[in-house]
Amino acid sequence: MKHFGEDTWEFIRDDSFVQWVLRPDGASTARWEQWMIAHPERVRDVEKARDMVTALAKVPQPAVDEAMLEELYAGLDRHMEEERPAVEETPARIRRMGRYRWWGAAAAALTGIALVAIYLKKDNQTPVAATLNSHMENEQLTRINTSNASQVAWLTDGSTVVLNAGASIRHDAFLLQNKREVFLKGEAFFDIAKDAARPFIVYTPKVGIRVLGTSFRVSEENGSLTVTVKTGKIAVYNLADKKQRSYVVTPNHKIRFNTLTSAFVADSLDNSELAELQPAVQPKPFVFDNTAVTDIFHAMETAYSIKINASEEVFGKCMITTTITNESFENKLKIICAAINASYKISGGQVYITGKPCS
């Protein structure tokens, strides 16, 4: 095992970093992802530290006297503070190990051997493996849920769509246009990533829905289409109305469009409807523990229905540990490629990964 330097040590001895690696939650993941976006030059250090934490979590606790290690640890802290140049602080204040008891860290400073005991193991998760029937036509991607259960469709801007059985969406593969446009048939729950510069528009056969960043459900019943808003605001309008007069719907409210009379009727939600205003399936974070990067690319292919060309011969031995949530498709690619010192190119609706083999 290679020794870790000061750059990785900065993260390894941070309680919040260790907890994030071993037991990630929404808040900690969002905080560290934002930090990596703000400090792209440190992503490699973060990935090295995560790999080290993951590996050391599996090492049994050494039989070393606690008092001696506490004394050595204090000395190591003083030494690191004297030798380290001033750097910007990480999201949480760096502090002494408490709950996770990294006993071997002090001994490692003297012997060069990392003996670390961690009692908590990280649960390995993978995103929902969508079983969507996908095909390209006229440079647009159509994704159909042919199963009997709801399925998650990830969009490259960071949005997600939970498609009910039989529902489908059609859109530009990478949503690269000035407007993010999705054509929906059937019922679905949308959770839209905010992007004020590029409004999100959902087209149903009869109704248009304008969104900036919100979550809402589109359902059909007895010849009517109902749009129910969970968070944010939306504007709905009749596509046949040349003036495109819109109706604003706020959280915990719904609007029903009668496809026979072309009339809109707005209403609030009762308690039972509020309790049920959830997607049928919760999109899971992309969590991988010491996983081959080619497997991660395959999972992304499945989630986004976008072909990722990565040579098994070149990248088959590249193993990384990562947790990525609420990120766009390209930001996920950037984080993964930074971890293996690779690069990517988007061409013809596909992704091409280039780089050198991992040792």
pLDDT in tens, the chain (359 residues): 334 456 677 787 777 888 888 888 878 888 888 888 888 778 888 888 887 777 766 655 444 445 544 554 455 455 445 444 444 444 433 333 343 344 334 333 333 323 232 222 334 444 544 568 888 887 789 999 999 999 999 999 999 999 999 999 999 988 877 889 999 999 999 999 988 888 899 999 999 999 977 999 999 988 899 999 999 999 999 999 888 789 999 999 999 999 888 899 998 888 888 888 888 888 888 888 889 999 999 999 989 999 999 999 999 899 988 888 778 899 999 989 998 999 999 988 899 999 999 87
In angstroms, what CA-CA distances link 139 with 75, 131, 170?
62, 21, 10
- DSSP strand pairing (200-203 vs 168-172): unpaired
- Smallest CA-to-CA distance from 140 within 181, 198, 197 is with 181
The candidate with the shortest Cα–Cα distance to 311, out of 276, 278, 358, is: 358
CATH of domain 286-354: 3.55.50.30
Q: How far apart are the first and last CA of the chain?
A: 13
Instruction: Name the residue ranges covered by the structural domains of the chain.
Output: 6-111, 134-276, 286-354
Q: How far is Cα 280 from Cα 98, in angstroms, rounded to an integer?
A: 39
CATH number of 134-276, picked from 2.60.120.1440, 2.70.98.10, 3.60.10.10, 3.40.50.720: 2.60.120.1440
The pTM assigned to this predicted structure is 0.64
Q: In sequence order, which residues have a C-beta less than 8 Å from that of residue 294 and are 6 or more positions away?
A: 310, 312, 315, 316, 318
| CA–centroid distance for 36 within its chain | 13
